[in-house]
Structure 1
Amino acid sequence: MIWGGVLAAQTAKPIYKQPEHSISERVSDLLERMTLEEKVAQMRMFHAQIGVALNEKDELELSDKVIEKLKMGIGGIKNPGEHLSPHRAAILNNQLQKYIIENGRLGIPGFFVTESYNGVDAAGCTRFGRPINMASTFNPALVKEVFDAVGREARWRGLHLTHSPEADIVRDPRFGRMSEAFGEDTYLTSQMIISAITGLQGDYKGLKSSHIGAVAKHFAGYAQVAGGTNFASIEISPRTLVDEIFPPFKAAVIEANTLGIMASHGDINGVASHANPWLLTEVLREQWGFEGYVVSDANDIGRLHYFMKVAETPEEAAILGLKAGVDVDLYAEDAYALLPEIVSKKPELMKYIDRSAARVLRTKFILGLFDDPYIDIEQVASSVRSQSHLDLAKDADRESIILLQNNGVLPLSPAKTKKIGLVGPLLTSETREQFANAFGEEVEFIEAKGFELTDGNGAVPQLAPEEAQRRGIKEIIDKVQQAEAIVAFVGGDEFTAKEGFFNNALGDRERIDPVGLQDELIASLKKLGKPLIIVLKHRRTLSINTFAKKADAILDCWDLSEKGDYAIAEVLFGKVNPSGKLPVTVPRSIGQLPFHYSQKEINYKKGYLFAENKPLYPFGHGLSYTTFDYSPVQLSHPVLHENGSMYATVKVTNTGSLPGKETVQLYLKDLIGTVVRPMQELKGFQKIELMPGESKEVSFEILPEMLEYCGLDMEKNQGKGTFELRVGSSSASFQAINFELQ
């Protein structure tokens, strides 16, 4: 009787509520029970700012608009609790989830979504360095640790997915979102994407409880925008698309098993990405085997009508997105919200709605939301922004700082340099404190920010008036007269490089030189005759010609973590030996663009009148306080066969007096191709640590697939013939040897 009773109870319970069934079985069962309106609700997402809040008694408060939206359930909600502490955010998200489940006919949970450019984009979480900083480490294992921490912090505050990381290749520094991605190189970005996604997702195994799902974006070609301006057209050849732009996304799908993909604002060959079945279905799903869900970028399905102008009506825009393979409509009221009425007239579209709704439900089952939808509140306070995560942020900072140049002034000695000027518009309120924490009472710091770069307007910032900047320069010069060395914090901030949102916001620039009178500041400081060290903080590549000419040393720091100035102090005083490498090419002027290191070889034939035909700093460049010697590279075989492999080996020796880390880089160059080929392409790197006098052998396995590219027929081939293999410390400093592919 007992066994019969249990069996009867299990039988009565819907399959979708039984964890012992497969996800596909649970999805099918649930889908059969849902109405059209409930399915469409799963294909929509709104932002919590329209009315999801926690009152002073820690009780959930929902606006009438939100209550109306949740009547049929919801696919997801963006940024619930983003401005609350992690503990209160978890309280909010538990109550919000409970409301969604209990007020839905079938008890379908929602997923809650964030973004992750400096860690979790929410109050109270650890602020890590930007993705471009992660790329500068050339350390995939460390990057995975960082994103593992990000995934845990997001889940602990009640979040389930992140619209990150960016798998875009960014080669135009005019583009304001440059630092959100991992740089200009296809291979480096692919390795960073694999690390970021596997970290966020806890190697996929953590998705049910401890980690969050990644949504790689923007598929595809975003950041290749004409003129470097957001929302502009994308002009890119089919060969470049397949050989250089697709690989990081393919790696996200095949190697990292990303849970989601976000489509791109842009177009490919005139076809809007949100209405491109070749891109979102044939390539993504049929060729690569992607089984996750595709989400629109904000409002982009509706924009097929009123912005891209490839749909006559909002209804046609919704149909285009649905058929192309966009499963979730982010924010819009003029797109998938129209589907119930559309389907009443076009019932043949029902199969596409079932397809998309099933993908969303599958995602929720993978995330464990049907079986364990709530957060353990007691765990939150001790887990988010823990000391171990703050220490990890410092470790990533230390490895991402790049020593661009040094005439011997660095590292500074606290015993010899007792009074240091900390100056410049990128100086923060915490800089002096973090420097003092790093070196106690050993050094006296003279602080003088001088001026701000802009007025801080988040939409369209204006440069600070020149009169105010010149007063600031004078103030700085007056204050540092007694300093023995000067550290100038210059470059750019969150207002001089940012996302240019669709309406009433700008974030891109028509020039890439430092804004305002920063060159004038550096020239004035140089006249003082004191050692001048530049700390470069920025979110886009800058043509820093005056900085390079005047400075005794330059540290390129991009946008570090919340404790970034502490790591800068450690590097300046030699407690940490810098080991970062450039994930971009630094041009001398905007006129050189495009100027990525892997552009076609023929682009290097001619330069410009009255200008040097080389970058200010090459891709992969980064100095150390010690020196490294490379032996001639050796090949295990002179010939690589199409089904075989070979090894390239080099011995690296630390010939200096300090321990140091070096990133050994492997580049391949196709000497004769069936189409015009790149100058060279990064195909491997290894970061090693050596004590003074220590040597290590570094080996790279060379496989035929590393040599593949789209030939004349647009099919992948290995281009048999002679290749040059380059191993060295950057794209411009290497030893080379030839081999044959047969």
Structure 2
Amino acid sequence: MKNKILSLILVLISLGAGYAQKGRMPFQDKSLRINERVEDLLPRMSLEEKVAQMRIFHANIGVGANEKGELELSDRVIEKLKLGIAGIKNPGEHISPLAAAKLNNELQKYIIKSNRWGIPALFVTESYNGVDAEGCTKFGRPITSAASFNPELVNRIWDVVGREARLRGMHMCHSPEADIVRDPRFGRMSEAFGEDTYLTTQMVINAIKGVQGNYEGLGNGTHIGAVAKHFAGYGQVLGGSNFAAVEISPRTLIDEIYPPFEAAVKEARTLGIMASHGDLNGIATHGNEELLTGVLRDQWGFDGYVVSDSNDIARLFYFMKVAESPQAAALMGLVAGIDVDLYAEDSYAYLPEMVKKDPSIEKMIDRSVRRVLRTKMILGLFDNPYIDIKEVEKEVRSTASLELAQQADLESIILLKNENNLLPLKRENQKIALLGPLVYQGTQAAFESVAGENVSFVADKGFELTDGDKGAPSLLPTDEKTIKKLVDVANESDMTILFLGGDEFTAKEAYFNNAVGDRATIEPVGAQDELVKRVKALGKPLIVVLKHRRTLAINTIAEQADAILDGWDLSEFGDSSAAKIIFGEVSPSGKSPVTIPRSIGQLPFHYSMKEINNKKGYLFLEDGPLFPFGYGLSYGNFEYSELQLSGMTMTPSTEITVSVQVTNTGKMKAKEVVQLYLKDEIGSVTRPDKELKGFEKIELDPGQSKSVTFTITPEMLKFTGPKMEKIWEAGDYTVMIGTSSKEGVSAQFRLEK
């Protein structure tokens, strides 16, 4: 045995001597396995260098370019980079992709040369409308693309995001959001994929696989790593108020909130996870070891890194008030399993002095640093840390990417109403007024380009909704003269298209420092409803195009308008896309990714709530939603028939296939989202009214039929039982296949054990 150990030592000494002769060390050898390289580098590092690999700072503290485009760093940044750094958020975000690529190459070169071991940094971005940086392709928001019910399309969108981000020198993305959002008061609603667990899961899987290049794009330098967020329950804040407490049952957490995150880890192989601002059952998430280690790592096998949300480890002390001191907060975050501290100067910065008092802490530091170094090696940054400048202008905002942005719009726009088949409009001699606060500078030109010479347009924004204050915007007062002017323009036209909803200030993230973004009401703000009623009174056709970032209770609009297109927050081609739908170049095929309520008083209100929630309505309010989840009209007309099951019983080890015939009885080629819902008729715990378990988007010519088949698996029927364990339960189930969560054909089968 002693001889074997001696032989191994001699081999290691020999290898070390070999690397020394070449001027290299084992961690620099890309032929070695990543874990071997990490284990070689880690013990070489000082404690302070390790802690530096656990911190990210924002570029706005002093990373920029001078008039010649050369890198300029503040003294504060220079000091931070002496020991290396885990990463920097948003370097070069306000300059062109080419300028950013050059700047980030210089920045990375500086970082590598400035620390002893030449450890590169992660440059981190976010993605809500494509890459959140100057000069990249602007896509619709995640909730917009969720309305497409087309996961493959979402995969292609995020593939472009990954490529464009990498080409400007980025490596990680604090996106996508795997949160379930069900409260339209919440200002960040549009950043996620909607209210449904299954739809969100499919979108998150495809977003991560897209942005990471199906994982293969990480090491070859074409894509960036994803950081799924906010784990877990962030979208469930009380009152829809950012930073508020989260009150959610353990069963709902497991069955409805966890699945998108679990799929992000197990199926999509996300490189990172961001912890949630909030708490679960009174335990602050950033100090929740059971969640961040027990569930995430021990149960799901996550091996990437966990990053804090902005300053949230420090906030365990001064905001959440669950830690006695900043140092106690740092230890709480470290024990829980948070590897990287985002922005804070009063949290992990204290770790070196804390280790002097308690050396056992260093083992947990080593654990986190391993994960960060491993991520950098997966991304190939130790071997190829720079961007090929020649490729930037070829790929960023390519023709194919811009076309994809509009295709995504066309598949995501939802036709909510089409009274007397007003749409699509004919390109005949008529004058159309384009009016309202969501008319943009290029709206008229976009409609003119689509409609052609026979149709004339007049456009007038009329009024703004808010004063545009980025922190705490105020609503602007109604100006009767402006309303009258818009009505006069409408009166002089043959028909009117009103552009209504909300601007970027009426739904946004609420920050500390008195920046608000959540709302206490969900009706359209300002004079929008009044404008609708006044224009409708003219007796001319009225079309409404909605643009918004939160669900709105559009009762007046739904009653008064002849046709309604819901676009949520579209791409840079949004107005052109709306025009193409309105003039019939494409049939709308979007479906609502949320339930649209009549009143804020109905909240919480989503289609998959427990059946007992639907027993009673409210005084003086019509029952049910204004528009249900999964709803969206078409210029085609789809009939569902011949629902067939392969059997009437199944067991936990068998499956049932179910098929339905879908026929387009309309006069236009169109796409339809065929939706599969399951309902557990009797359960040992109260069960959801129904749950989406599958969907398929199909395209049919007029008169064409297609048989659509789904497989019902035992996994679809599992739920968390009375003893908080996942179970199957014998009993009757209803399967419904249809055009929305409210309309379809159904049958029953039985699960037998």
When the two structures are superposed, what TM-score results if normalisation uses the length of structure 2?
0.97
Give the aligned partner of residue 429 of structure 1.
Answer: 441
Conserved 8 A contact 2:19-2:25: no
Aligned residue for 1:187, secondary structure, equals helix
Find out whether 1:192 has 2:192 as its counterpart: no
Cα distance per residue 1:434-472 (max 9 Å; x no partner): 112222323100111110000000100000112x3x222
Cα distance between partner residues in 2 of 1:428 and 1:58 = 32
More displaced, 624-633 or 225-234?
Answer: 624-633
Give the aligned partner of residue 485 of structure 1.
Answer: 495
Cα distance between partner residues in 2 of 1:440 and 1:37 = 66
More displaced, 55-64 or 180-189?
Answer: 55-64
What is the Cα deviation at residue 632 of structure 1? 3.1
Superposition pairs for residues 24-173 of structure 1, below 5 Å? Answer: 24-173=35-184
Cα distance between partner residues in 2 of 1:202 and 1:486 = 44
Aligned residue for 1:240, secondary structure, equals helix
Superposition pairs for residues 290-439 of structure 1, below 5 Å? Answer: 290-416=302-428, 418-439=430-451
What is the Cα deviation at residue 411 of structure 1? 2.3
Conserved 8 A contact 1:448-1:475: no
Aligned residue for 1:403, secondary structure, equals strand
Find out whether 1:635 has 2:638 as its counterpart: no
Cα distance per residue 1:111-136 (max 9 Å; x no partner): 00000000000000010000001100
Structure 2 residue aligned with 1:570, among 572, 576, 580? 580
What is the Cα deviation at residue 417 of structure 1? 5.1
Give the aligned partner of residue 656 of structure 1.
Answer: 666
Conserved 8 A contact 2:16-2:25: no
What is the Cα deviation at residue 206 of structure 1? 0.0
Conserved 8 A contact 1:114-1:163: yes
Cα distance between partner residues in 2 of 1:500 and 1:297 = 14
Cα distance between partner residues in 2 of 1:664 and 1:708 = 23
Aligned residue for 2:314, secondary structure, equals helix
Cα distance between partner residues in 2 of 1:604 and 1:22 = 56
Give the aligned partner of residue 23 of structure 1.
Answer: 34
Give the aligned partner of residue 10 of structure 2.
Answer: none
What is the Cα deviation at residue 193 of structure 1? 0.1
Cα distance between partner residues in 1 of 2:302 and 2:623 = 43
What is the Cα deviation at residue 409 of structure 1? 4.4
What is the Cα deviation at residue 6 of structure 1? 12
Letter of the structure 1 residue corresponding to residue 400 of structure 2: S
Cα distance between partner residues in 1 of 2:648 and 2:307 = 48
Conserved 8 A contact 1:667-1:731: yes
Aligned residue for 2:265, secondary structure, equals helix
Cα distance between partner residues in 2 of 1:693 and 1:194 = 35
Find out whether 1:475 has 2:482 as its counterpart: no
Conserved 8 A contact 2:275-2:309: yes
What is the Cα deviation at residue 10 of structure 1? 7.2
Cα distance per residue 1:133-187 (max 9 Å; x no partner): 1100000001100000010000000000000000000000000000000000000
Structure 2 residue aligned with 1:670, among 671, 680, 684? 680
Letter of the structure 1 residue corresponding to residue 747 of structure 2: I
Find out whether 1:446 has 2:458 as its counterpart: yes
Find out whether 1:554 has 2:564 as its counterpart: yes
Structure 1 unpaired stretches of 5+: none
Aligned residue for 1:413, secondary structure, equals coil
Find out whether 1:647 has 2:657 as its counterpart: yes
Structure 1 residue aligned with 2:255, among 228, 236, 243? 243
Cα distance between partner residues in 2 of 1:47 and 1:691 = 52
Cα distance between partner residues in 2 of 1:8 and 1:16 = 10
Cα distance per residue 1:593-624 (max 9 Å; x no partner): 01100001100001111111100000000000
What is the Cα deviation at residue 482 of structure 1? 2.1
Find out whether 1:266 has 2:278 as its counterpart: yes
Aligned residue for 1:198, secondary structure, equals helix
Letter of the structure 1 residue corresponding to residue 324 of structure 2: E
Cα distance between partner residues in 2 of 1:138 and 1:722 = 28
Q: 1:716 to 1:10 in 2, by over 3 A?
A: farther
Cα distance between partner residues in 2 of 1:441 and 1:78 = 48
Conserved 8 A contact 1:242-1:710: yes
Give the aligned partner of residue 590 of structure 2.
Answer: 580
Conserved 8 A contact 2:427-2:583: no
Cα distance between partner residues in 2 of 1:232 and 1:415 = 51
What is the Cα deviation at residue 9 of structure 1? 6.4
Cα distance between partner residues in 2 of 1:499 and 1:182 = 16
Find out whether 1:526 has 2:536 as its counterpart: yes
Cα distance between partner residues in 2 of 1:68 and 1:331 = 15
Give the aligned partner of residue 498 of structure 1.
Answer: 508
Give the aligned partner of residue 278 of structure 1.
Answer: 290
Conserved 8 A contact 2:435-2:498: yes
Conserved 8 A contact 1:404-1:555: yes
Aligned residue for 1:714, secondary structure, equals coil
Aligned residue for 2:391, secondary structure, equals helix
Give the aligned partner of residue 4 of structure 2.
Answer: none
Cα distance between partner residues in 1 of 2:602 and 2:536 = 28
Q: 1:8 to 1:299 in 2, by over 3 A?
A: closer
When the two structures are superposed, what TM-score results if normalisation uses the length of structure 1?
0.98
Cα distance between partner residues in 2 of 1:442 and 1:562 = 25
Aligned residue for 2:361, secondary structure, equals helix
Conserved 8 A contact 1:414-1:442: no
Cα distance between partner residues in 2 of 1:471 and 1:69 = 56
Aligned residue for 2:739, secondary structure, equals strand
Superposition pairs for residues 659-698 of structure 1, below 5 Å? Answer: 659-698=669-708
Identity level (%) = 63
Letter of the structure 2 residue corresponding to residue 640 of structure 1: M
Q: Figure out how many residues of one structure are paired with residues of the other and give that number.
A: 737
Aligned residue for 1:61, secondary structure, equals strand
Cα distance per residue 1:395-414 (max 9 Å; x no partner): 00000000001113432434
Give the aligned partner of residue 700 of structure 1.
Answer: 710
What is the Cα deviation at residue 415 of structure 1? 3.6
Find out whether 1:252 has 2:264 as its counterpart: yes
Cα distance between partner residues in 2 of 1:127 and 1:615 = 32
Conserved 8 A contact 2:227-2:272: yes
Aligned residue for 1:355, secondary structure, equals helix
Aligned residue for 1:71, secondary structure, equals helix
Cα distance between partner residues in 2 of 1:550 and 1:128 = 31
Q: 1:480 to 1:9 in 2, by over 3 A?
A: same
Cα distance between partner residues in 2 of 1:100 and 1:92 = 12
More displaced, 621-630 or 408-417?
Answer: 408-417
Aligned residue for 1:301, secondary structure, equals coil
Letter of the structure 2 residue corresponding to residue 34 of structure 1: M
Cα distance between partner residues in 2 of 1:253 and 1:417 = 56
Letter of the structure 1 residue corresponding to residue 152 of structure 2: A
Cα distance between partner residues in 1 of 2:147 and 2:427 = 31
Cα distance between partner residues in 2 of 1:5 and 1:47 = 38
Cα distance between partner residues in 2 of 1:139 and 1:113 = 27
Give the aligned partner of residue 594 of structure 1.
Answer: 604
Aligned residue for 2:313, secondary structure, equals helix
Aligned residue for 1:262, secondary structure, equals strand
Cα distance between partner residues in 1 of 2:97 and 2:428 = 45
